[in-house]
Homo-oligomer: A and B are copies of this chain.
Amino acid sequence: MADKHPGPVVDTSASRHARLRPVSAPDVRITDDFWAPRLRRNREVTIPAQHAQCESTGALRNFARAAGSADGDFSGRYYSDSDVYKWIEAASWSMATHPSEELADRLDSVIELVAGAQDPDGYLNTYFSVDRVHERWTDLVVRHEMYCVGHLVAAAVAHARATGRSTLLDVALRACAHIADRFTPGRVTGACGHPGLEMALVELYRTTGDERWLTLATWQLDSRGRGVLDGSEYLVDHQPVRQQDRVTGHAVRALYLYSGMADVVLETGDPELRAALERLWADLSGAKTAVTGGVGARWDGEAFGDAYELPDRSYNETCAAIAHIFLAWRLLLLTGEPQYRDVVETALHNGVLPGLSLSGTEFFYQNPLADAGRHRRAEWFSCACCPPNIARLLASLPGYLYTTDDDGIQVQLYIGNQAELRLADGIPVRLDLATELPWRGEVRLTVDPAEPREFTVTLPVPGWAGADVTVRVNGDPVALDTGRRRIALRRTWSAGDTVEVTLPTEVRTLVGHPRVTAVHRRAALAMGPLVYCLEQADHHGTAVADIRLTGVERWTVAHEPELLGGVCTLSAQAGAAPVDDGPLYRPYREPAAPTSGVSVTAVPYFAWANRTPGEMRVFVPLA
């Protein structure tokens, strides 16, 4: 747990407008039974498998080719460099928390390949090397050149924070200098069809202290909607970002862009950008988010739908859920408001995690809320954005568990861990958080400052926990106001103090806003932070499509260690629509009463499609 090269994911430690400061990922070790095995699988299976994919798809060889040390054609898409950069980022965060000589060597050799592909003028994109040099910067709309540099910067910052070395950071700085020279703030407008560079530039500013990068990020944000690109909603280029009030167009593009806006606001406090973010978030959270935290309902254009357009077969790209977390985390750091941590938690468990098979080797690009059994994970995609995006998020997850401020420490995610953080005055505090979440809501936090100190430990009351939260400090109950969304415990803490929180994890039956007509009179099951679904594999003799949530008296929660890697199932006696061989459309009559006594079992949505293919539903008719 070194702090020679501090490793927060989003480093707002010096951000003037941040309400919260981050902690360094290496200072937090995830220890629970749910996430710790997943992070281990990410390190031991997913990251190596993705390196192999970067090799077999030619994404790595593209760098050697650009350096002149390999022959042949360019392989993959014009943005395939970003697969390699995301892999570097994932590997770097993995190194930060779990140093490995083997991975260090592999990282070094990949970075050497990348560095070798850079031109003397700083330009770096292997698609535009060898035979396409003359096409550089000729198509900002389509070709993702700045987007790829954004991922290079993100990888470089992660690598520097994880290892303290600047081998890749130097490459990234030269690439950014090339862009800053070409698309000069105040003089030459420039923006990329696919945002992403903006947030990376702000992180580069945070890492280097060089305001040039903050200026360039702001300049790029403000170049949008001004005729530089194509003016389309798809590229989020339909309006200057300061005027936008509706999330629209390509979901990943939009949320990467807004994450960059949030980063600029964290640094500058720009009130216009902040107001735009507030409007956009209200639209996103109020009308365009799936119950899973997935976003981007439309298959056409991988785009947001209109308000309340949230059908069963929503697109919900895995990358969009990750981008949703990026934006929510930045807004959390900006405001400290608990609504944002709720989104991080929901999207992590239900929007991102389903993107990964239990084996760690297969991935979903889309995450619909219903399926007939034909939507399955794949080992890779020709557009391979999602798999390494999952890997880098999981590898950096320790950095999302806590924040700090001048008053003390905030728990943000209830994930079991051991951490060593520092108070504002530099005093170290050891924390040990034990919980069986997401299955059971008891949380025990041991607070162990190096010496007794008065400070505040704040714990969130997640939106799912409802009113009956109980808190004890060293065994003594603490009175809570109803409706409180956080528990702020200010006292003099000394070694061995414990906080016990019990968060109710009753099974919830969630319905949508009345305007979400796609799920009219249907409900989704949830428990704790998890959204559940029905899979055909658990239902014999009854089609999942016929199940009705009628007559349910109570849900039985059972932990099944052998099922789906160990999950809690929800079981009840419910109903089923009678077999209906009538026509597809018919005059309305009150439907026949569902049959009763049908055994229904729900499993966590994140675990779906890991067994025999069959019908899956998140939203089930109430009657």
Residues of A at under 8 Å CB distance from B? 285-287, 289, 291, 298-300, 305-309, 311-313, 370-372, 374, 508-518, 520-524, 545-546, 577, 580, 582-588, 591, 617, 619, 621-622
Contact = CB atoms under 8 A, between A and B. Distances in A.
A591 to B, nearest CB: 6
B285 A517 contact: no
Contacts of A311: 311-313, 518
Contacts of A512: 584-585
A515 B305 contact: no
B588 A511 contact: yes
A588 B509 contact: yes
Given A311-B312, A508-B587, A518-B311, A513 B306 contact: no
A546 B308 CA distance: 12
23 contacts: A285-B584, A286-B584, A299-B300, A300-B300, A309-B312, A309-B372, A311-B311, A311-B313, A311-B518, A312-B517, A312-B518, A511-B587, A511-B588, A513-B580, A513-B585, A513-B586, A514-B580, A515-B546, A517-B522, A517-B617, A517-B621, A521-B621, A588-B622
A521 B520 contact: yes
A519 to B, nearest CB: 8
Contact of A520 (B511, B520, B585): B520
A279 to B, nearest CB: 16
Contacts of A510: 585-588
Nearest to A299: B300
Contact of A586 (B307, B511, B521, B587): B511
Given A306-B372, A306-B374, A520-B522, 11 more contacts: A291-B585, A311-B312, A510-B586, A510-B587, A511-B587, A513-B580, A513-B583, A513-B585, A514-B546, A515-B545, A520-B521
A308 B514 contact: no
A516 B582 CA distance: 12
B517 A619 contact: yes
Nearest to A579: B514
Contacts of A546: 514-515
A371 B308 CA distance: 11
Given A584-B513, A588-B523, A313 B308 contact: no
A483 to B, nearest CB: 14
A300 B513 CA distance: 27
B313 A577 contact: no
Contacts of A309: 312-313, 372
Nearest to A311: B311
A518 B617 CA distance: 12
Contact of A299 (B298, B516, B520): B298
A299 B515 CA distance: 22
Contacts of A582: 513
A514 B588 contact: no
Nearest to A301: B299
B514 A591 contact: yes
A510 B517 CA distance: 16
Contacts of A515: 545-546, 577, 580
A307 B373 CA distance: 11
